[in-house]
Structure 1
């Protein structure tokens, strides 16, 4: 569920601007952080993406120039797919995208998050985050009436229904050692840079999911928690708790219940929108911009579509024959030579009259009645010598 997403540099910039405007009216600040270096139209677990999170004053070097009493949010690039444990010298984490996964932890269930030690520990240490994206992809099996040259499920793109507003997802992030050493330059009192060996770290994140809302359940039974209330989102960054998490779950499902009556492929009250996209993006190597662009699904027309509802009645055009020409009745009025009753009876004949056999000798006028004569009964006279003569009455 939600194993692909799209994040562009423009969306990250929009998210930073939205958070900055909110910070100006509240008691926290935004510290410049990482920007998206590339547009990622088909991002999969193991790929890098930009998230927003609170500055950890205790362990992060990002807090060295900040007052510990000031709440600060920054952005950084991390790998999608949580790596919960440190690597060691004897058993370092494997290198390469996606090699750090212990069990493909690219999402976490909100209903059991505080029951699992891996996730609850991160939440208790305020290692929470917001993930601004253009949208995410979900797949649905094609219906039987869909015309398609390619096999496989049909991907859909779920995005914000508002222009210039990213889709904010909530999640957790972590920072662990890989078990390897790296050499980095360290400034020596401004004189020159010296090389120093340090532990290598890897930073990863995961998104939090919940039950699918009624308007999206036709696509999948799970969905990421999409947050629209920035006050609640900021509370998740600075003061995360199970209570806050449940509020976010209720907002996601409650909002969707209000929107459940909307059209599946249209903007629903301006909050979320979804539509089918090209099946080519199902391949990890497909990175084109048209991954996010809508496509039209062609369907086979059903037999019912050839018939109008209720049965359309054909327009009748009646031609009058010469026998139905109007005649003067002597009072200055005209009347038809054919009576209405006769015309109705002719119409009622319909197809039966068309196939009725006709006598060639019969004229166009009504046929004459013929009388059937009964032949007289002949009296049978018994022959002489027959057996009947012996029983003849005297």
Structure 2
């Protein structure tokens, strides 16, 4: 299939059919053609055909006319063939391509024109889209030597609402095995003057078996090699126009390789500057503070002034004096079981006095039965505690026993 092609050489090059095909003197409708790198269906493009010797110029010559000797003429036509019997221009018809198999079989809408209305469509190359999953990648196929390609075509004219319109279609066949990965169809190419003359020779006004063999054969001209490469996706939109559309994406300055190089450079520069800013200083970090916490403090200082200060305080916080408990000194369970009860009571009384002198209101200890205390004192033997009370507490207890 061929649904888009490029044709924007100099007008002198186009008239000379760059590639040594032939030189063309006349160009009908030259002003109607706008050279473009993105020629789409329903737009104007030039085709090459034999000049019709009939006075009307409608292309309906007789069998006696020697079409093989008629001069070549270039004519601007609309891409998308409208048959001559049409009363309206139906844009819904899919006539931008004509399958070679249909031409060889005979019949159909091409039967009345394939014998006498053949043309060649010049181009610099054509576009084809490769489907990869959900993505479609445009490719451009052209001659390696850069000369113009000629594609086999058919043309016709129709009078609609008093106006004569000229239209054409491009003949397609099976793709060359070298390019079948891109698409299963390919235009029929006319790569030399002999092929061009044979295709444009409509003197017999009939379709011959030789023509069927020619159009059904995939491209095999080893003397004119073709090449294919990916091009930018912007060519997919009909209104876009750029000389970069026929340049390989890989070799363009703004192509995909250059884009990836710029992205890689942009990613490398911030990471290198960030690594410099986060590099540890020469002075060792404080032993009680991790480097990660200090780095996050520096990074968020400007962005969030309310962020908590993660550095430790320079001076320890003041100690808060709490009132001593009225309960006995916290000893171990074993000590409480072996210590005389009388001694515990005395220690509690001493602590109560100390709490009163410090200004805090002591808590009242629960009353204890004197009988119970005496029985415990008489039955239990005193044992020295193994717990080590605080320094202040030892001094107070010792002074208490000296007084008693």
**TM-score range relative to shorter protein:** 0.5 to 0.7
| Aligned twin of 1:248 | 214
Find the counterpart in structure 2 of residue 110 from structure 1. Answer: 100
**Cα distance between partner residues in 1 of 2:192 and 2:217:** 9
Say if 2:185 is the partner of 1:222.
Answer: yes
Alignment equivalent of 1:44, drawn from 40, 47, 52: 40
* Residue 74 (structure 1) aligned with residue 73 (structure 2): yes
* TM-score w.r.t. length of structure 1: 0.55
Is the CA contact (8 Å cut-off) linking 2:173 and 2:217 kept in structure 1?
Answer: no
Match for residue 210 of structure 1 among 160, 173, 181: 173
Moved more, 233-242 or 283-292: 233-242
CA contact (8 A) 2:79 2:168 kept: yes
TM superposition shift of 1:9: 4.2
Query: RMSD between aligned alpha carbons?
Result: 3.1
Q: Which has the larger radius of gyration?
A: 2
Is the Cα–Cα contact under 8 Å of residues 37 and 245 in structure 2 kept in the other structure? yes
Seen in structure 2, the aligned counterparts of structure 1 residues 203 and 292 have a Cα distance that, compared at 3 Å, is same
Question: Larger % of strand: which?
Answer: 1
Deviation at 1:135, TM superposition (A): 0.8
How many matched pairs? 243
The answer to whether structure 1 residue 84 and structure 2 residue 78 are counterparts is no
- Structure 1 unmatched runs, 5+: 94-99, 144-150, 181-198, 259-268, 301-394
Paired residues of 2:21 and 2:192 also in contact (CA < 8 A): no
TM-superposed CA distance for 1:208, in Å, is 0.2
Query: In the alignment, is the contact (CA less than 8 A) between 2:103 and 2:212 conserved in 1?
Result: no
**What displacement does 1:75 show?**
0.6
Tell me what 1:271 maps to: 225
Give the distance between the partners of 1:45 and 1:18, measured in 2 at CA: 22
Larger RCO (CA within 8 A; separation ≥ 6): 1
Q: Does 1:287 align with 2:241?
A: yes
Aligned counterparts, 1:1-394, within 5 A = 1-10=1-10, 13-18=12-17, 30-35=25-30, 37-58=33-54, 60-61=56-57, 70-88=69-87, 92-93=88-89, 100-114=90-104, 115-124=106-115, 126-142=116-132, 152-163=135-146, 165-178=147-160, 180=161, 199-239=162-202, 241-249=207-215, 252-255=218-221, 271-296=225-250
Q: Contact 1:84–1:176 at 8 Å: present in 2 too? A: yes
Cα distance, 1:281 vs structure 2? 1.2
Change (3 A) 1:152 1:60: farther
Secondary structure class of the residue paired with 2:195:
helix
Deviation at 1:59, TM superposition (A): 5.8
Give the Å deviation of 1:34: 4.3
**How far did 1:104 drift?**
1.7
Shift in CA distance, 18/72, structure 1 to aligned 2, threshold 3 Å: same
CA-to-partner distance for each residue in 1:201-246, whole Å, 9 max, x for gaps?
1110000000011011000011111121321211211236333433
Q: 1:32 to 1:39 in 2, by over 3 A?
A: closer
Q: Is the 8 A contact 1:212 1:220 kept in 2?
A: yes
* Alignment deviations for residues 306-360 of structure 1 (CA, whole Å, 9 cap, x no partner): xxxxxxxxxxxxxxxxxxxxxxxxxxxxxxxxxxxxxxxxxxxxxxxxxxxxxxx
Matched position secondary structure for 2:13: helix
Q: TM-score, normalised by structure 2?
A: 0.54
The structure with the largest helix share of the pair is 2
List per-residue Cα deviations over 1:250-303 (Å, max 9, x = no partner): 664333xx6xxxxxxxxxx652111100011111221222221210266x9xxx
Deviations 1:66-97 (A, max 9, x none): xx655121011100001114444xxx43xxxx
Three-state SS of the structure 1 residue aligned to 2:209 is helix
* Number of the residue aligned with 1:188: none
Preserved CA contact (<8 Å) 1:139 1:156:
yes
What is the match of residue 336 of structure 2?
none
Q: CA offset at residue 142 of structure 1?
A: 3.2
Q: Structure 2 vs 1, CA of residues 9 and 116 (structure 1 numbering), >3 Å: closer, same or farther? A: farther
Q: Distance in 1 between the 2:182 and 2:212 partners?
A: 23
